[in-house]
Amino acid sequence: MVTKQIGKPQNRVDGRDKVTGRARYAAEFSATDLAYGVVVSSAIAKGKIKEMDTSEALRVEGVLDIFTSENRPKLASYDSSFQDEDAPPGSPFRPLFNRDILFNMQPIALVVAETYELARYAASLVKVEYETEEHVTNFEAERTNAYEPEEYKSTPPPDPWGKPETALKEAEHRISEVYSHPSQHHNPMEMHASTAIWEGDGRITVYDKIQGVLNSQEYIMGVFGLAKEDVRVLSPFVGGAFGSGLRPQYQLFMAVMATLELKRSVRVVLTRPQMFSFGHRPKTVQQLSLGASADGTLEAVVHHAFAETSRFEDYSEDVIIWPGVLYKCENVKLSHKLVGLDVYTPLDMRAPGGTTGIFALECAIDELSYKVGMDPVEFRLKNYSVKDQNVNKPFSSKELQECYRQGAELFGWKNRNPQPRSMREGHNLIGWGVANGAWEATQKPSGAKAVLTKEGKLTVSSATADIGTGTYTIMSQIAAECMGLPIENVEFKLGDSSLPQSPLEGGSWTASTVGSAVKLVCEKLGEKLLELAQESDDSPFKEVSIEEVEFTDGQMRLKEDTSVAIPLTQLLKENQKDSVQVEAESKPADEQENYSPYSHSVVFVEVNVDEDLGTIKVTRVVSAVAGGRILNPKTAWSQILGGVVWGIGMALEEYSVMDHQYGRFINHDLAEYHVPVNADVHDVEVIFVDEEDQIVNPLGVKGLGEIGIVSVAPAIANAVYHATGKRVRDLPITLDKVM
């Protein structure tokens, strides 16, 4: 008998391919005529190229061509801005557009050769003379010139409500502090790469590291003026992205340009240092002023954020929306300004804005709880919000209180001594901290196709991506359960621009969005199968409706009389069908407009701080998550665990170091850019709180990619304070700041 698939801890259906090496990534596809491109990066942050001498490089045997702004082909949209799907307001960076240098390590040439080694050697022979201009990469020095953009990429700050300044002034307890974090980089395992295959007659197939093949396809069509039928983009596997693959990066432009010009296949792979030359979590400074009454009622919130952006695009994130989402307060004022620097435009990085804004807010709330003299959990629950005050709408569901209850019980929060520096074990100071968080649960329009063969094999497809989150697996589970088939008989296809439309994989919306489309297309497939069964005059299904049948054990049968059944394989054979195929497009229900859908979390953390050395160890984490219906507890646990690990890195280690003399990130490798390793991660427990949501989407799922990280860094910071009595408000929390 076919068991239920949704909610089952299913192994990844693509797992064997990944561990055996059968899974191929963008730089692993080949062609008989493949050439290799290496990007030459600028050595200055601002100015112009006076002269570029490529003569010595061109003399190297095996070098096919060197593309610069002087000899690149004429392009369809390079005299106007072409916006990709994830572009912020402004004019996107255009590689090899002219001689102007806008940021350090800007791509200024592409050397193409018969082998990668030849291309890399020849690239080292390219000589460049610059005319430099004074650059500005110092955030603090430029902060006085911060501005409100004409258009926000994120949610614009809501209008103030109540009388925040007056309420703050009159509050019994007040805090006003500055919280900050540095620029941070994504650093996925797989470097960005594009392999463009020349198919002849102006047609190309491109394997790209991207979180949405349709975005790359549209970009190529727009920039190079190609017809849709002449461009196919594939990305069957992605070795991590975390937002770095939302926008087409410049290696895609380089590979396609060279392929079209040379009429042969070209691969371009960025180096690890070049991975630091585009997109990052922007450095952000936040001023938070909070006021509370004597009994702990939150009476005022004033939250001002300043974040970096490039000179050519206005990138912004949802940094300041979280007070209105997480807490009830009658007097709130929020603002978000940008600081333009001579850097590449920042880029969405796991839970963009959420990790930043919730870090500052939850540290400030914690500080205020101590000032009021209330337990940090009790203080948060006292100011619990039942609606999103930013838009004045109720939540579609919210089990945050249950997250607190279950998380505190498992962690043992009741045993906490509230006094800082009161808990120790030998020379280690022990601290317990807590923070809560939220992330928007979004559904977007999406399409899907389903094909059932007479052998009983079901193939469902959509152009979405799997960036390691388990998309292949959960979509297979949804389809298998809807059609009553064993998961071994189901194949889900993705990462191909020829498949039905879907949005970028990001924002934790893929399970909700593509999952809803898969559910809908399977329901339509069921309707078509019922129609086939009803074509026979003596069919027992002749007069029944789709609501009266179910699909299970590879059969279609009556719900009221399960003895009336027909195997799906038999149904197709009797109707002389090799296969049955349907397509469907799903979109959010109108009812969703009346609610504010969010997932919620509470994170409890224990840290050990060496009293002599100031070193910090995160010894225990309990993460309690209300994320709607859990499709696969195994992959869901993995998502939350990954968020916890990254939260440890954000709190204690990650820091992209800018050398202002050169305007360049200088720790641009995995030796100097620190991320957590096995020794940094200890006991992590994950709780999924039961949550039913009939509004958020037909599946009742909310997505888990972002909610796992947003609360971790502030919980660690609050635990460090409890251990040491010292507040560190500038991430990362390094031993020098503690000591």
Mean pLDDT score, 680-692: 98
Distances (CA, A) of 726 to 366, 370, 434, 713: 13, 13, 16, 16
Residues 304 and 373 in one domain: yes
From 227, 255, 276, the end of a domain falls on: 276
- Note if the bond before 732 is cis, omega within 30 degrees: yes
Contact between residue 702 and residue 627 where contact means Cβ atoms under 8 Å apart:
yes
Residues 114 and 38 in one domain: yes
Residues 456 and 381 in one domain: no
Residues 425 and 289 in one domain: yes
Residues 430 and 494 in one domain: no
Residues 6+ apart with CB under 8 A from 726: 720, 738
Give the model's pLDDT for residue 76. Answer: 83
Residues 377 and 303 in one domain: yes
Catalytic residue, chosen from 299, 399, 440, 706, is 706
Q: Which CATH number goes with the domain that contains 119?
A: 3.90.1170.50
Residues 431 and 537 in one domain: no
Two tokens, residue 577: 């069908």
**pLDDT tier at 78, thresholds 50, 70, 90:** confident
Kindly calculate the radius of gyration of the chain based on its CA atoms and give it in whole angstroms: 27
DSSP character string of 668-696: -STTTS----GGG--EEEEEE-----SSS
Distances (CA, A) of 380 to 389, 434, 729: 16, 10, 20
Residues 713 and 663 in one domain: yes
pLDDT exceeds cutoff 70 at 2: no
Q: Is position 180 within any domain? A: no
3-state helix, strand, coil in the chain (%, to 5): 30, 25, 45
Q: What is the pLDDT of residues 552-610, one digit of tens each?
A: 999 999 999 999 999 999 999 999 999 999 999 999 999 999 999 999 999 999 999 99
Q: Is position 7 within any domain? A: no
DSSP 219: H
- Return the number of other C-beta atoms located less than 10 Å from residue 339's C-beta: 23
Q: What is the pLDDT of residues 618-653, one digit of tens each?
A: 999 999 999 999 999 999 999 999 999 999 999 999
| CA proximity to 299, closest of 379, 398, 392, 373 | 379
Residues 6+ apart with CB under 8 A from 279: 185, 186, 243, 244, 247, 249, 344, 345, 346, 347, 349
Measured in whole angstroms, the distance separating CA 134 from the mean position of its chain's CA atoms is: 34
Q: Is position 350 within any domain? A: yes
Q: Is 425 a catalytic residue?
A: no
Residues 654 and 715 in one domain: yes
Q: Is position 43 within any domain? A: yes
Q: Is position 101 within any domain? A: yes
Distances (CA, A) of 533 to 536, 546, 577, 698: 7, 11, 12, 27
Bridge partners (DSSP) listed for residue 519: none
Residues 109 and 217 in one domain: yes
Instruction: Say how many Å lie between the first and final Cα of the chain, rounded.
Output: 62
CA distance 8 to 631: 7
Longest distance between any two alpha carbons in the chain, whole Å:
86
From 570, 587, 604, the end of a domain falls on: 587
- Phi, then psi, of 628 in degrees rounded to 5: 70, -150
Q: Is position 158 within any domain? A: no
Residues 47 and 81 in one domain: yes
What total number of domains does the chain contain? 3
β-pairing, 203-208 vs 424-425, is unpaired
pLDDT exceeds cutoff 80 at 83: no
CA distance 75 to 95: 11
Q: What is the pLDDT of residues 16-41, one digit of tens each?
A: 999 999 999 999 999 999 999 999 99
Q: Which CATH number goes with the domain that contains 498?
A: 3.30.365.10
Q: Is position 579 within any domain? A: yes
Residues 100 and 205 in one domain: yes
From 555, 572, 587, the end of a domain falls on: 587
Side chain identity at residue 493, one-letter code: K
Determine the structural domain holding residue 635 and report its residue range.
164-170+280-442+593-738
Q: What is the pLDDT of residues 700-712, one digit of tens each?
A: 999 999 999 999 9
Contact between residue 729 and residue 175 where contact means Cβ atoms under 8 Å apart:
no
Q: CA 203, 33, 64: angle at the middle one, nearest 5?
A: 100
Give the model's pLDDT for residue 738. Answer: 94
